[in-house]
Amino acid sequence: MRVWFLSAGLALMCMAQSAAAGTVLIVGDSISAGFGLDTRLGWVSLLEQRLKREGFDDKVVNASISGDTSAGGQARLPALLAEHKPELVILELGGNDGLRGLLPTQLQQNLAAMIDSSRASGAKVLLLGMQLPPNYGARYTKAFAEVYSNVATEKKIPLVPFFLDGVGGHPDLMQADGLHPAAGAQDKLLENVWPTLKPLL
């Protein structure tokens, strides 16, 4: 009887650990997809390693696609939510919208819709903000950057104001194209995200 109780107790502990483990879904573009890198060196892989190291059982699903826009992410999101049932969705989109000169108002609408869909599925949301190089013009770059703070305030969700902080504009941390972070920048990207991400787990 004592052995049965011990076995039952262990089974319940395993079930509790399994229930506590969640899924983190990352919906992003080339920066999170690890464009130009061995993906094992990308910030998402580093996040998986950090989670394990710090005792989290969460599974990370990287649904990032190089070249994706906020409209593309919005179109893909419902199927991703249905398949993976995440507890947390990290949105890292908008850079390609900006590089293509798309309307900031449309970006804000797309991000807001993705936040609403994620919440309706029961997930928390973390938004990673982006900024554009100054050569896109002061008026456009300002309007673009403000999209992230505006939607985060409106939807009351946590925001990393500039995902590439300390990386963008530093040639030694960027690939030759000047757009994508190099392998040496991936630790910094994770450090930019981790303090805001950890309390959501």
Whole-angstrom distance, CA of residue 73 vs CA of residue 80: 10
Out of 18, 38, 172, 177, which one is annotated catalytic?
Answer: 177
Confirm whether 149 is a catalytic residue: no
Establish whether 180 is a catalytic residue. Answer: yes
Closest by CA position to 143, among listed 102, 182, 185 = 102
Among residues 7, 18, 30, 70, which one is catalytic? Answer: 30
What's the Cα-to-Cα distance from 155 to each of 21, 97, 111, 160, rounded to whole Å? 26, 21, 10, 14
| Pairwise CA distance, residues 178 & 172, whole Å | 10
Quick one: residue 122, left, alpha or beta (phi over 0 = left, psi -120 to 50 = alpha)?
Answer: left
| Residue of 64, 118, 121, 180 marked catalytic | 180
Q: Which two tokens stand for residue 78?
A: 């419902």
Ordered DSSP codes for 75-95: HHHHHHHHHH--SEEEEE--H
180 closest CA partner among 32, 27, 23, 62: 32
Evaluate whether 85 touches 118 at the Cβ level (below 8 Å).
no
Helix (H, G, I), strand (E, B) or coil at 128: strand
Please answer whether residues 91 and 126 qualify as being in contact, where contact means their C-beta atoms are separated by less than 8 angstroms.
Answer: yes
Annotation says 45 is catalytic: no
Which residues are the active-site residues? 30, 177, 180
